[in-house]
Amino acid sequence: MRNIRLVIEYAGTHYCGWQTQTRNTKTPSIQSTVEKTLCKILREKIKLIGAGRTDAGVHALGQVANFHTRASLSTEKLQRALNALLPSDITIVSAKEVPLAFHSRFRAHSKHYRYTILNRAYRSCFIADVVYLYPVRLDVACMQREADALIGTHDFRAFQAAGTQKKATVRTIKRIKISKQGDLVYIDIEAGGFLYNMARNIVGTLIEIGRHKFPRGSVTRILKSKDRRCAGPTAPAHGLCLVKVKY
């Protein structure tokens, strides 16, 4: 038995997210699309284990997944075969044989997400699917000052999706950086783990801060409230990208 680790890049625009859906849906998932292609190549049933469950419309530069196989095909030939057969919006960046004990999800140390905002009044015809067009000028310095309060271990209950029943809501944010290049604003967040919609809810809150709708000290107040209603709206999925999974 062999354990193969894949690093996968994808544009999530036309998918229902990473995870295969149990309910009937006409929209495929990234997981099911790659699994079906692997089955065709290796001629055996394959179950992919992903490092993170990106939502519908979310993209990835470095999603990691592993699977077990009895096939003897080399990883170099496997990568070439996958890239030849997969749709053009999914690419296998690398394929490598790893120890059987490796698990993409449980061995992950942290995940790095990036949210990209096109901060101007008019859209881009080239990058519209991977950025959030926001026409109100954002105060990046103010956003960073407030974002610093998120670093460390906190109860992020106020930033999880409304109606979520998850009881363990303590997470650790290792790094959060907000930068601007031209009309693009980048929000980079690295954490040991994320609650459902946590990254997008943080972004939505920081946008409200950047347009001076939320006063100074809002992030600390929101964290202490543990109330989703106190935070900002959920930012759209298409601006979010899983950049890297660290082990």
Percentage of residues of the chain with pLDDT beyond 70: 98
Residue 6 domain-assigned?
Answer: yes
CA–CA separation, 175 and 172 (whole Å): 9
Q: Which of 14-23, 89-98, 105-114, 181-190 has the lowest mean pLDDT?
A: 14-23
Residue 104 domain-assigned?
Answer: no
**Does the pLDDT of residue 22 top 80, yes or no?**
no
- For residue 164, the model assigns a pLDDT of 79
- For residue 24, the model assigns a pLDDT of 58
**Does the pLDDT of residue 21 top 90, yes or no?**
no
- Comparing CA positions, the residue from 239, 56, 81, 216 lying closest to residue 144 is 216
39 with 154, same domain: the answer is: no
- For residue 20, the model assigns a pLDDT of 85
130 with 16, same domain: the answer is: no
Using one digit for the tens of pLDDT, what is the confidence trace for 177-194? 999 999 999 999 999 999
Question: Under a CB-based contact definition with an 8 Å cutoff, are residues 233 and 161 in contact?
Answer: no
- The boundaries of the domain holding residue 37 are 2-98
Using one digit for the tens of pLDDT, what is the confidence trace for 203-217? 999 999 999 999 999
Number of domains, the chain: 2
Residue 213 domain-assigned?
Answer: yes
24 with 63, same domain: the answer is: yes
Q: Which active-site residues does the annotation give?
A: 55
Helix axes 75-85, 30-42, angle to 10 degrees: 120
CA–CA separation, 60 and 30 (whole Å): 10
What are the residues whose beta carbons fall under 8 Å from the beta carbon of 237, sequence distance 6 or more? Answer: 12, 55, 56, 57, 58, 200
What are the residues whose beta carbons fall under 8 Å from the beta carbon of 213, sequence distance 6 or more? Answer: none
The rounded mean pLDDT for the chain is 96
Percentage of residues of the chain with pLDDT beyond 90: 94
